[in-house]
Chains A and B, each alone.
Chain A
Amino acid sequence: MERVYLDHAATTPVDPEVAEAVARVLRDTPGNPSSIYAEGRAARALVDGARAQVAEAIGAQPAEIVFTSGGTEADNLALRGALKVADGRDGLVTTAIEHHAVIDTARDLERHAQARVSVVGVDGDGVVDPVAIREAIDAGTSLVSVMHANNEIGTIEPIAEIGAICRERGVTFHTDAVQSVGALPFDVRVLAVDLVSINAHKFYGPKGVGALYVRRGTRLATIQTGGGQEKGRRTGTENVAGIVGLGVAMRIARSRQATESPRQARLRDRIIAGVRARLPDAVLTGHPTDRLPNNASFCIPGTEGESLIVALDLEGFAVSSGSACTSGDTEPSHVLQALGLDRELAKGSLRVTVGRATTEAQVDAFVDALARVVARLREPAAVGV
């Protein structure tokens, strides 16, 4: 059976050019970037090249890029590292729809009395109100963390306004841009952001590598100790092949964005229109227009997310419910709960995220399969034969 992959928010297939670059490093560059001899210098040059590629893609300076093991580590480094040097200003303002890597880190800091956490809610479309952020900031606030685009519902947050507020109040601003970098224009020269989390495997790079942008002058402590790599901000021998893959993936994403994002947005809108036509009671979750170009997410009354995923998997389609990290959990995700959705309705959540290889024919086949599966799931179980 032909498989149709429509879960690009969970991860993306590695671009062949990236895979080749990664393989070449593994094959040909055995050195440790910290070594001073030729093999080490060769590895160092690759890491530096990738650093320049990542920096260029977001308008940063190479020295402002810290490589990590992925988005989760970048988020942990941002939150924990910023609060560690906050000098008594232990206030952390974040939102109810952050990824677990942010919200659970905030809760962990709170539990260990390392932060006072204020969680700001969202409206029914999942949009954070910048005024609410402004009101949550007090004299003891040192860090605000608001994601750029939500991983479950695709809503794009007003981080330009929020960043301006933070700058005005002298508060460090972190944004988890794991879902958006690669899909949306992102320029740190325009946005008042101080810390930005990036994850390679969300834009056709390898898993296990990411980066944290740290604006020059932003105070950040390391959260692990060791050999002092990445100027002591993220110690540990660099994942050279992964870092090279991240750099190449970043370059490709940036060069394709202008054509690829509008193309994906058309596919997204085709899914939304198709679902609305076939399942008129389905509810689109997230903002109707200010959303990631590849994200179509719904709640389908009378179904359960897990059942939808299982049934569609067996029909050949890979989709998810809520975020992949909470699959198997019968509770509606914290994001869907934050939207104020009816609890029963929220159980039937479905996230469809298209990608570079997605075609109109695949999208149409998906809508057909979904309509078929939903009809079956809504029938009472006819166990007898």
Chain B
Amino acid sequence: MSGGVDSSVAAAILKEEGADVVGVWMRLVPGGADSDAPRCCGTDEAGEDARRAAAALGIPFYALDYADVFGERVVVPFVNAYAAGETPNPCVACNQHLKFDALLADVVRKFGGERLATGHYARTRTDAAGARHLLRARHAAKDQSYALYMLGQRELARAVFPIGELRDKAETREIAERFGLPTATKAESMDVCFAPGDYRELVRDRAPGAFVPGPVERVDGTLVGAHAGIGGLTVGQRSGVGVATGERMYVLRLVPDRRAAVIGTKEQVTRTSYDLGDVRFVAGAAPSDEFTTTAVLRYRGTPLAAAVRVSGNDATLELASPALVAPGQAAVFYDGDEVIGGGVVKPALR
């Protein structure tokens, strides 16, 4: 339970169904530090909200400390990725390493629990053969299946997403109100939860080397200016490169060993072919070495027609028309509403 309405309602639904529900709040940032960000799901303020929600539901509640593993598996890779000129997705890393690994193991061992329910907007199905499937949420506008693509059969066997079955926001609100959940009206934060405000401050603090100025170049190598450090840049961004060339230019590539930012036109920055690493499939294996799919390149992004060619843990994504996705982001494969799998976009080769 994050302290937000979604996970509270998820607990309420299960409780109403008669399940034996235990609420857990995960401390993700080290305790002791004052909470400057009441909306952050990893701080004490949120922990208190979760505690109140659990009390309102009459379920046991525990605040457990995952700050070490969060630091190691989410924050450090996040900083390193920015320092390497990539754009990480910390929610994907958190789902993979925290919720559906560290927490899931504790659910089984510590609590003797059978299932791990979260407040994610997604659905699961088990077919006649016993295989588990991951589907978009019924309420499409809130769908979060993108950030869960890495779940395999093992995790899905334990996962429950009660609010993924809800039709709309009104239904969520209605349940929250019916249970008197104190989290019924809460703003949704788009900040990186462990770096409220500007994440670049965190990167600057942890990886000062990523904020050493470097050259801004065109694709042909022409030097056109300087930037303040690649840690503050994202592939695909338009502004902030620090040059005025008269035409709209975008960050095409970041070259950490020379601290260079290569810029290009809109035509140059969008591509049809991307290399993916750490490719995973919900079913445990790719449907075939080559398959067609619809690819989603960002959270709540538009599905794009694509073909995937799998080679071991890597894959090549061929889009039907050019699109932009920064290295470090997830490319997720769908078949209609079903998540097939996905991978992490690799940096473009020179």
Residues of A in contact with B (beta carbons under 8 Å apart): 306-307, 310-311, 313-314, 328, 330, 376-377, 379, 381-385
CB distance from A350 to the nearest CB of B (A): 14
Could you pull out 5 A-B pairs where Cβ atoms are within 8 angstroms? Answer: A310-B110, A314-B60, A314-B112, A383-B158, A385-B158
Please give, as numbers and ranges, the residues of chain B lying within 8 Å of A381 by CB-CB distance.
104-106, 108-109
Q: How far is the CA of A379 from the CA of B157 in the complex (A)?
A: 20
Please give, as numbers and ranges, the residues of chain A lying within 8 Å of B111 by CB-CB distance.
310-311, 314
CB distance from B311 to the nearest CB of A (A): 27
Q: How far is the CA of A53 from the CA of B104 in the complex (A)?
A: 54
Question: Which segment of B62-70, B187-195, B334-342 sits at the interface?
Answer: B62-70
Interface residue from A313, A330, A377 paired with B109 (Cβ < 8 Å): A377
Tell me the nearest residue of chain A to B104, going by C-beta.
A383
Please give, as numbers and ranges, the residues of chain B lying within 8 Å of A376 by CB-CB distance.
109, 112
CB distance from B130 to the nearest CB of A (A): 11
Q: How far is the CA of A306 from the CA of B109 in the complex (A)?
A: 12
Please give, as numbers and ranges, the residues of chain A lying within 8 Å of B65 by CB-CB distance.
306, 328, 330
Please give, as numbers and ranges, the residues of chain B lying within 8 Å of A379 by CB-CB distance.
109
Q: How far is the CA of A385 from the CA of B108 in the complex (A)?
A: 11
Please give, as numbers and ranges, the residues of chain A lying within 8 Å of B63 by CB-CB distance.
328
CB distance from A374 to the nearest CB of B (A): 11
Q: Known contacts A377-B109, A381-B106, A384-B154; can you find 8 more A-B pairs with CB under 8 A?
A: A307-B109, A314-B22, A314-B112, A330-B65, A376-B109, A381-B108, A383-B155, A385-B157
Q: Please name the 9 residue pairs, one residue from A and one from B, whose CB atoms are nearest each other, closest first.
A: A381-B105, A384-B154, A307-B110, A385-B157, A381-B109, A381-B108, A310-B110, A330-B65, A310-B62
Segment 227-257 of B: residues with Cβ below 8 Å from A: none
Please give, as numbers and ranges, the residues of chain B lying within 8 Å of A377 by CB-CB distance.
109-110
Is A383 a contact of B154 with CB atoms below 8 Å? yes
CB distance from A240 to the nearest CB of B (A): 31
Segment 86-140 of B: residues with Cβ below 8 Å from A: 104-106, 108-112
Please give, as numbers and ranges, the residues of chain A lying within 8 Å of B108 by CB-CB distance.
381-383
Please give, as numbers and ranges, the residues of chain B lying within 8 Å of A328 by CB-CB distance.
31, 63, 65
Q: How far is the CA of A313 from the CA of B62 in the complex (A)?
A: 10
Q: How far is the CA of A382 from the CA of B106 in the complex (A)?
A: 10
Q: How far is the CA of A35 from the CA of B65 in the complex (A)?
A: 51
Tell me the nearest residue of chain A to B152, going by C-beta.
A384
Residues of B in contact with A (beta carbons under 8 Å apart): 22, 31, 60, 62-65, 68, 104-106, 108-112, 154-155, 157-158
Q: How far is the CA of A382 from the CA of B112 in the complex (A)?
A: 10
CB distance from A364 to the nearest CB of B (A): 21
CB distance from B131 to the nearest CB of A (A): 13
Q: How far is the CA of A75 from the CA of B93 in the complex (A)?
A: 47
Q: How far is the CA of A383 from the CA of B106 in the complex (A)?
A: 9
Interface centre among B22, B62, B63, B158 (most CB of A within 10 A): B62
CB distance from A284 to the nearest CB of B (A): 24
CB distance from B266 to the nearest CB of A (A): 45
Please give, as numbers and ranges, the residues of chain A lying within 8 Å of B110 by CB-CB distance.
307, 310-311, 377
Q: How far is the CA of A310 from the CA of B60 in the complex (A)?
A: 10
CB distance from A204 to the nearest CB of B (A): 26
Please give, as numbers and ranges, the residues of chain B lying within 8 Å of A384 by CB-CB distance.
154, 157
Tell me the nearest residue of chain B to A309, going by C-beta.
B62
Tell me the nearest residue of chain A to B108, going by C-beta.
A381
Please give, as numbers and ranges, the residues of chain B lying within 8 Å of A306 by CB-CB distance.
64-65
CB distance from A126 to the nearest CB of B (A): 26
Tell me the nearest residue of chain A to B62, going by C-beta.
A310
CB distance from A327 to the nearest CB of B (A): 10
Q: How far is the CA of A379 from the CA of B158 in the complex (A)?
A: 18
Is B105 a contact of A383 with CB atoms below 8 Å? yes
Q: How far is the CA of A385 from the CA of B60 in the complex (A)?
A: 25
Tell me the nearest residue of chain A to B32, going by C-beta.
A329
Q: How far is the CA of A310 from the CA of B110 in the complex (A)?
A: 7
Please give, as numbers and ranges, the residues of chain B lying within 8 Å of A314 by CB-CB distance.
22, 60, 111-112
Q: How far is the CA of A196 from the CA of B86 in the complex (A)?
A: 62
Please give, as numbers and ranges, the residues of chain A lying within 8 Å of B64 by CB-CB distance.
306, 310
Please give, as numbers and ranges, the residues of chain A lying within 8 Å of B106 by CB-CB distance.
307, 381
CB distance from B101 to the nearest CB of A (A): 8
Tell me the nearest residue of chain B to A304, going by C-beta.
B110
Please give, as numbers and ranges, the residues of chain A lying within 8 Å of B109 by CB-CB distance.
307, 376-377, 379, 381
Q: How far is the CA of A95 from the CA of B228 in the complex (A)?
A: 53
Q: How far is the CA of A377 from the CA of B109 in the complex (A)?
A: 5
Q: How far is the CA of A92 from the CA of B68 in the complex (A)?
A: 37
Please give, as numbers and ranges, the residues of chain A lying within 8 Å of B104 by CB-CB distance.
381, 383
Q: How far is the CA of A62 from the CA of B236 in the complex (A)?
A: 79
Q: How far is the CA of A103 from the CA of B31 in the complex (A)?
A: 21
Q: How far is the CA of A384 from the CA of B130 in the complex (A)?
A: 14
Please give, as numbers and ranges, the residues of chain B lying within 8 Å of A330 by CB-CB distance.
65, 68
Is A311 a contact of B157 with CB atoms below 8 Å? no
